[in-house]
Amino acid sequence: MSTPSASCPALFISAPASGQGKTTVTAGLARLLRNQGKVVRVFKTGPDYLDPQILAQASGQPVDQLDLWMAGEAYCRQRFYEAAVEADLILVEGAMGLFDGEPSSADLAALFGIPMAIVMDVKGMAQTAAALVTGLAGFRDDIRFAGLIANNCGSQRHRELIEGALPAAIPFLAAVPRDPDLALPERHLGLVQAEEIRDDLEIRFEAAAQALEAAGLLNALATLSPVSFSASTEAQAAVSQALAGQTIGVARDAAFSFIYQANLDLLAQMGAHVRFFSPLSDAELPECDALWLPGGYPELHAQALAANTAMRDAITGFFSAGKPILAECGGMLYSLETLTDYAETTHTMLGLLPGHGAMRGRRGCQGMQTAELPEGPVRGHAHHRSMAEQTPEPMAYGRRQRHPAPGEPIYRAGRLTATYLHLFFPNNPAAVARLFSHGLGNDSAPHDSVLSVSAQATAASPQIEESSHAVK
Verify whether residue 288 is a known catalytic residue.
no
Distant-in-sequence, close-in-space partners of 94: CB < 8 Å, separation ≥ 6: 12, 13, 14, 15, 22, 45, 105, 109, 116
Catalytic residue among 8, 76, 288, 329: 329
Question: One digit per residue, pLDDT tens: the chain, 472 residues?
Answer: 678 999 999 999 999 999 999 999 999 999 999 999 999 999 999 888 888 989 999 999 999 999 999 999 999 999 999 999 999 999 999 999 999 998 999 999 999 999 999 999 999 999 999 999 999 999 999 999 999 999 999 999 999 999 999 999 999 999 999 988 888 766 444 445 656 678 889 999 999 999 999 999 998 888 899 999 999 877 656 568 899 999 999 999 999 999 999 999 999 999 999 999 999 999 999 999 999 999 999 999 999 999 999 999 999 999 999 999 999 999 999 999 999 998 999 999 999 999 999 987 655 566 889 999 999 999 999 987 788 899 999 999 999 888 888 889 999 999 999 999 999 999 999 999 999 997 544 333 333 333 333 333 333 333 444 333 332 2
Q: Specify the pLDDT at position 58.
A: 96
Residue 40 CB neighbour total at 10 angstroms: 23
Reply yes or no: is the peptide bond before residue 103 cis, omega within 30 of 0: yes
Tell me if 294 sits within 8 A of 251, measured CB to CB. yes
Q: Which candidate, 335, 248, 325, 269, places its Cα nearest to that of 298?
A: 335
Tell me if 369 sits within 8 A of 398, measured CB to CB. yes
CA atoms of 231 and 455, how far apart (whole Å): 9
Tell me if 162 sits within 8 A of 134, measured CB to CB. no
Pairing of strands 89-93, 5-14: parallel
User: 276 forms bridges with which residues in the sheet?
Assistant: 250
> Could you tell me the pTM of the whole model?
0.85
Q: Specify the pLDDT at position 362.
A: 57
Q: Specify the pLDDT at position 215.
A: 92
CA atoms of 273 and 289, how far apart (whole Å): 10
Q: Specify the pLDDT at position 387.
A: 87
CA atoms of 65 and 47, how far apart (whole Å): 6
DSSP state letter for 48 = -
Side-chain half-sphere of 42: how many Cα atoms within 13 Å?
29
Q: Measured between alpha carbons, how far is residue 81 from residues 73, 93, 141, 213 in Å?
A: 12, 17, 25, 28
CA atoms of 31 and 38, how far apart (whole Å): 9
Q: Which candidate, 220, 227, 8, places its Cα nearest to that of 109?
A: 227
* Residue 461 φ then ψ, to 5°: -55, -25
User: 379 forms bridges with which residues in the sheet?
Assistant: 370
Q: Specify the pLDDT at position 448.
A: 36
Residue 12 CB neighbour total at 10 angstroms: 29
